[in-house]
Amino acid sequence: MTVYGYARCSTNEDKQDINRQVRELKAAGAEEIFLEYEHGDAAVKQQLTALLAAAAPGSTILVLEISRLARSTKQLCDIIEIVKEKKLCLKVVGSITVDCTSGVLDPMTNAFVQMSGVFAELELRIIRERVRSGMANAKAKGAAIGRPKTTKDDIPAVFYKHYPAYKAGAINKTELARICALSRSSVYKYLDLLE
């Protein structure tokens, strides 16, 4: 049976390096790894859903931490229910094995997984509270919170170069974004500043 790995980071590859998880999952025996950039408490994790759909009875799923699967106790319980229904084996590397290949989950393992889920959710809530508190403290000290306001001085030269073609109707917003190698949201922001 196939040994799958599941690696997840909360933000994109520019901000977090998922390669450590990939290396450790491969070292633990993962043959095929599903990668996800999504928050732990997100209602939908497309790659995790795809992995659970692809896994055949008897397959093993490896993760490095319970929090990689979910940071919501309810979501974790839902995942464990799928693991049980599909008769899979879920291994948290170096920690716990949830072997449901017989279609049964023993009560002690179930309780331990649920407790781990509670702690993962608690950790997320503590992190979020620290961030809120830190932002409130910085704001109270007069610091500007959030991204700096964009001004006309921030508009890149390449945008100004192709802006006349857009104004003349020769290109649309999508083409302007592509030519300037900018996101559409940046193009809209710059257009708002100029018009």
Question: How high is the pLDDT of residue 154?
Answer: 87
Instruction: Using pLDDT thresholds of 50, 70 and 90, give the confidence band for residue 38.
Output: confident
Q: Which two tokens mark 122?
A: 């608690």
Contact present, 118 and 73 (Cβ < 8 Å):
yes
Number of domains in the chain: 2
Check whether residue 81 and residue 175 sit in a common domain. no
Check whether residue 121 and residue 162 sit in a common domain. no
Check whether residue 34 and residue 105 sit in a common domain. yes
Domain-ending residue, one of 87, 110, 126: 126
Question: How high is the pLDDT of residue 15?
Answer: 66
C-alpha count within 13 angstroms, C-beta hemisphere, residue 77 = 8
Question: How high is the pLDDT of residue 4?
Answer: 97
**Residue 39 resides in a domain:** yes
Check whether residue 156 and residue 120 sit in a common domain. no
> Greater confidence, 39 or 63?
63
Q: How far apart are CA 92 and CA 72, in angstroms?
A: 17
- Complete DSSP assignment for 77-145: HHHHHHHHHTT-EEEETTTEEEE-TTS---HHHHHHHHHHHHHHHHHHHHHHHHHHHHHHHHHHTTPPP
CATH code (residue 100):
3.40.50.1390
**Residue 89 resides in a domain:** yes
Q: How far apart are CA 142 and CA 147, in angstroms?
A: 15
Q: Tell which residue, 56, 57, 60, 80, has the closest CA to residue 69.
A: 80
Can you give the residue range of the structural domain that contains 177? 152-194
Question: How high is the pLDDT of residue 49?
Answer: 94
**Residue 16, burial from CB neighbour count under 10 angstroms (0-12, 13-18, 19+):** middle
Contact present, 46 and 56 (Cβ < 8 Å):
no
**Residue 112 resides in a domain:** yes
Q: How far apart are CA 68 and CA 30, in angstroms?
A: 15
Contact present, 18 and 35 (Cβ < 8 Å):
yes
Over the chain, what is the mean pLDDT? 90
Check whether residue 110 and residue 159 sit in a common domain. no
Top mean-pLDDT range of 37-41, 52-56, 125-129, 163-167? 52-56
Mean pLDDT over residues 149-171, rounded? 90
Check whether residue 181 and residue 98 sit in a common domain. no
Check whether residue 39 and residue 77 sit in a common domain. yes
